[in-house]
Amino acid sequence: MTNTKPKYVFREETTDWGPVDVYGDSGAQNHIYVFVNKLMVGYVKRGTKKVYWTEKPSRQWSPRGRTFRYLSAIEIEDIET
Protein backbone atom coordinates (compact mmCIF):
# COMPACT_ATOMS: atom_id res chain seq x y z
CA MET A 1 0.00 0.00 0.00
CA THR A 2 1.42 3.37 -0.99
CA ASN A 3 1.11 6.50 1.08
CA THR A 4 0.31 9.34 -1.33
CA LYS A 5 0.20 13.00 -0.40
CA PRO A 6 -2.94 14.88 -1.36
CA LYS A 7 -2.58 17.14 -4.37
CA TYR A 8 -2.87 20.71 -3.16
CA VAL A 9 -4.20 23.37 -5.52
CA PHE A 10 -3.26 26.97 -4.70
CA ARG A 11 -5.56 29.71 -6.01
CA GLU A 12 -5.05 33.42 -5.45
CA GLU A 13 -8.22 35.45 -5.19
CA THR A 14 -8.29 38.33 -7.68
CA THR A 15 -11.78 39.65 -6.93
CA ASP A 16 -12.21 43.41 -7.32
CA TRP A 17 -14.38 44.31 -4.35
CA GLY A 18 -14.62 47.94 -5.43
CA PRO A 19 -13.86 50.90 -3.18
CA VAL A 20 -15.74 49.47 -0.17
CA ASP A 21 -16.07 45.87 1.03
CA VAL A 22 -19.07 44.30 2.75
CA TYR A 23 -17.90 45.54 6.18
CA GLY A 24 -17.52 49.15 5.10
CA ASP A 25 -13.72 48.97 4.96
CA SER A 26 -11.94 50.46 1.97
CA GLY A 27 -9.23 47.80 1.66
CA ALA A 28 -10.70 44.32 1.27
CA GLN A 29 -7.98 41.69 1.42
CA ASN A 30 -7.81 38.87 -1.11
CA HIS A 31 -5.90 35.80 0.07
CA ILE A 32 -4.48 32.60 -1.40
CA TYR A 33 -6.64 29.53 -0.77
CA VAL A 34 -5.50 25.90 -0.67
CA PHE A 35 -7.80 23.18 -1.99
CA VAL A 36 -7.90 19.38 -2.14
CA ASN A 37 -10.68 17.92 -4.29
CA LYS A 38 -12.59 21.24 -4.29
CA LEU A 39 -12.53 21.45 -0.49
CA MET A 40 -10.79 24.43 1.08
CA VAL A 41 -8.16 23.04 3.50
CA GLY A 42 -6.09 26.15 4.18
CA TYR A 43 -5.26 29.73 3.25
CA VAL A 44 -2.32 32.10 3.05
CA LYS A 45 -2.96 35.61 4.37
CA ARG A 46 -2.13 38.45 1.98
CA GLY A 47 1.48 39.56 2.42
CA THR A 48 2.63 36.37 4.18
CA LYS A 49 4.07 33.04 3.01
CA LYS A 50 2.63 30.81 5.77
CA VAL A 51 -0.25 28.39 5.19
CA TYR A 52 -2.90 28.37 7.91
CA TRP A 53 -4.40 24.87 7.75
CA THR A 54 -8.04 24.36 8.75
CA GLU A 55 -8.88 21.64 11.29
CA LYS A 56 -11.50 20.18 8.94
CA PRO A 57 -11.99 20.76 5.21
CA SER A 58 -14.53 23.54 4.68
CA ARG A 59 -17.59 22.36 2.79
CA GLN A 60 -19.40 25.68 3.20
CA TRP A 61 -16.76 27.89 1.59
CA SER A 62 -17.86 28.94 -1.87
CA PRO A 63 -16.00 30.61 -4.74
CA ARG A 64 -19.24 32.04 -6.14
CA GLY A 65 -18.97 35.73 -6.94
CA ARG A 66 -15.17 35.65 -6.70
CA THR A 67 -12.39 35.47 -9.28
CA PHE A 68 -9.16 33.49 -8.97
CA ARG A 69 -5.92 32.61 -10.69
CA TYR A 70 -3.88 29.44 -10.21
CA LEU A 71 -0.40 29.86 -8.73
CA SER A 72 2.56 28.59 -10.73
CA ALA A 73 4.91 25.92 -9.37
CA ILE A 74 7.56 28.59 -8.76
CA GLU A 75 5.14 30.71 -6.71
CA ILE A 76 4.06 27.67 -4.68
CA GLU A 77 7.70 26.86 -3.82
CA ASP A 78 7.94 30.21 -1.97
CA ILE A 79 5.06 29.30 0.34
CA GLU A 80 5.82 27.53 3.64
CA THR A 81 3.68 24.40 3.58
pLDDT at 19 over 90: no
pTM of the predicted protein model = 0.80
Q: Is 32 exposed, middle or buried (0-12, 13-18, 19+ CB in 10 A)?
A: buried
Residues 6+ apart with CB under 8 A from 10: 32, 33, 34, 35, 44, 70, 71, 75, 76, 79
For the CA atoms of 44, 49, 55, 61, the dihedral, rounded to the nearest 10 degrees, stands at 10
- pLDDT tens-digit readout, 32-52: 999 998 899 999 998 899 999
